[in-house]
A and B are shown apart, each in its own frame.
Chain A
Amino acid sequence: MGRDTLGEFEHQLLLAILQLGGESYSVPLVHELEERTGREVAQAAVFIVLSRLEKKGLLTSRLDDHAVEQTGRVRRYFKATPEALRRLKQSRRALVRLWEGLDTTLDEA
Chain B
Amino acid sequence: MRPRPPLFARVVLRVLLNRNDRRTVSSDLREMYEQRLSRDGERAATSWWRRQWRQYPLHLLAERFRQTTRPSPRRPAVGANSLRESIHNMLSDLRHSVRSLARTPTLTLTIVSTLGLGIGATTAIFSVVNAVLIEPLPYADSDRLVRIYTDSPPNKWPFSVADYRALNEQQTSFSSLAGYRNRTMTFNRDDFAERVAGKLVTWNYFSLLGITPLHGSLFTEGDGAPGSEPKVIVSHGFWMRHLDGDENAIGRTLRFQGQGYTLVGVLPPDVGPFEHNGEFFAAVEWGVPPRKGPFFIMALARLAPGVDEAAAREELRAINKRLFPVWQASYQDQRASWGMQSVKEVVVGDVTATLVIVLGAVGFVLLIASTNAANLMVARATHRGRELAVRAALGASRRRLLQHLLAESTLLASVGALLGLVLTVGGIKLLTTVGADFIPRTQEVGLDGATVWFLLAITLGSGLLFGLIPSLHGAKTQFATALRSESRSATEGVGPRRLRRALVVTQFAVAAPLLIGAGLLIGTLANLQRVDPGLVTENVLTAAISLPASAYPEPGNVAAFWEEAQQRVGALPGVRGVVFADSRPPGQLNMINNFDLRDKPTPPNESQPATPWVGTTPGYFELLGIPLIEGRVFDDGDNTPPPVAIVDEAWARRFYRNESVLGRQFYSGGSTRNPVTVVGVVGDVKHVSLDAPDEGTVYWPRSLSSSRFRFIFIRTSIDPISVLPSVRQVFRELDPTLPLADVATIDELFGDSLDTSRYLTILVGAFAVVALLLSIIGIYGVMSYFVQQHTKDIGIRIALGGGRSNVIRMILGQGMRLVGVGVVVGIVGAIFLTRYMSSVLFEVGTTDALTFATVSIVMLGIALLACFVPARRAAGLDPATTLREE
Contacts and interface: CB of A to CB of B under 8 A. Distances in A.
B323 interface: no
A63 B59 contact: no
A26 interface: yes
Interface stretch (A11-19, A69-77, A88-96, A101-109): A69-77
Nearest to B727: A72
A103 to B, nearest CB: 37
Most buried by B among A69, A72, A75: A72
Given A44-B59, A48-B59, A69-B732, A74 B27 contact: yes
A12 to B, nearest CB: 16
Interface in B10-67: 20-21, 23-32, 35, 51-52, 55-56, 59-60, 63
Contacts of B20: 63, 74, 76
B728 interface: yes
A73 B732 CA distance: 15
A75 B59 contact: no
Contact of B724 (A43, A72, A75): A72
A42 interface: yes
A52 interface: yes
B154 interface: no
Contacts of B29: 43
B79 interface: no
B637 interface: no
Nearest to B25: A47
Contacts of B55: 42, 44-45
Contacts of A26: 28, 32
Given A27-B35, A44-B55, A69-B732, A75 B63 contact: no
B725 interface: yes
A75 B59 CA distance: 20
A30 interface: yes
Given A42-B55, A43-B29, A44-B56, A76 B24 contact: yes
B24 A30 contact: no
A102 B725 CA distance: 54
A7 B743 CA distance: 40
Given A43-B28, A71-B728, 6 more contacts: A26-B32, A44-B59, A48-B56, A73-B27, A75-B24, A76-B21
A65 B772 CA distance: 50
Contacts of B30: 73
Contact of B28 (A48, A52, A75): A75
A42 B62 CA distance: 15
A43 B32 contact: yes
Bin chain B's interface residue count: 20 to 34
Contacts of B51: 42
A45 B54 CA distance: 12
A52 B59 CA distance: 12
Nearest to A47: B25
Contacts of B729: 70
Given A25-B28, A30-B32, A47 B724 contact: no
Contacts of A75: 24, 27-28
Contacts of A70: 725, 728-729
Interface in A38-74: 42-45, 47-48, 51-52, 63, 69-74
- Most B CB contacts (10 A, CB to CB) among A43, A69, A70 go to A43
A74 B52 contact: no
B725 to A, nearest CB: 5
Interface in B724-746: 724-725, 728-729, 732, 743
25 contacts: A25-B24, A25-B28, A26-B28, A27-B31, A27-B32, A27-B35, A30-B32, A42-B51, A43-B29, A43-B32, A44-B52, A45-B59, A47-B25, A69-B728, A69-B732, A70-B725, A70-B728, A72-B725, A73-B27, A73-B31, A74-B20, A74-B23, A74-B24, A74-B27, A76-B20
B56 A47 contact: yes
B543 to A, nearest CB: 11
A76 B70 CA distance: 27
Which residue among B30, B60, B63 has the maximum number of chain A CB atoms within 10 Å of its CB? Answer: B63
Interface of B: 20-21, 23-32, 35, 51-52, 55-56, 59-60, 63, 70, 724-725, 728-729, 732, 743
Interface string A73-89: 11110000000000000
B265 to A, nearest CB: 28
B56 to A, nearest CB: 4
Contacts of B56: 43-44, 47-48
A71 B724 CA distance: 8
A94 B123 CA distance: 54
A72 B21 CA distance: 15
A69 B732 CA distance: 9
A75 B31 CA distance: 10
Contacts of B27: 73-75
Contact of A43 (B52, B728, B732): B52
Contacts of A69: 728, 732
A51 B21 CA distance: 10
Nearest to A42: B55
Contacts of A44: 52, 55-56, 59
Contacts of B725: 70-73
A42 B32 CA distance: 11
Contacts of A25: 24, 28
A47 B57 CA distance: 11
Contacts of B732: 69
B719 to A, nearest CB: 13
A99 B641 CA distance: 89
B42 to A, nearest CB: 18
Given A45-B59, A47-B56, A72 B32 contact: no
A74 B25 CA distance: 8
Contacts of A52: 63
A47 B12 CA distance: 15
A72 B24 CA distance: 11
A47 B28 CA distance: 10
Contacts of B728: 69-72
A50 to B, nearest CB: 10
A60 to B, nearest CB: 15
B399 to A, nearest CB: 55
B24 A48 contact: no
Given A27-B31, A72-B725, A63 B24 contact: yes
A15 B766 CA distance: 45
B31 A48 contact: no
A25 B52 CA distance: 17
B60 to A, nearest CB: 7
A57 B25 CA distance: 20
Contacts of A51: 21, 63
A33 to B, nearest CB: 13
B463 to A, nearest CB: 42
A67 B404 CA distance: 69
Contacts of A71: 725, 728
Nearest to B56: A44
A73 B26 CA distance: 9
A75 B29 CA distance: 11
Contacts of B26: 74
A48 B60 contact: yes
Contacts of B35: 27
B23 A48 contact: no
A72 B59 CA distance: 27
What are the 9 closest A-B residue pairs judged by CB atoms, nearest first? A44-B56, A44-B55, A74-B23, A74-B27, A76-B24, A26-B28, A71-B725, A48-B59, A73-B27
A51 B25 CA distance: 11
Nearest to A52: B63
Contacts of A76: 20-21, 24
A56 to B, nearest CB: 11
B665 to A, nearest CB: 46
Contacts of A63: 20, 24
Contact of A27 (B28, B60, B70, B724): B28
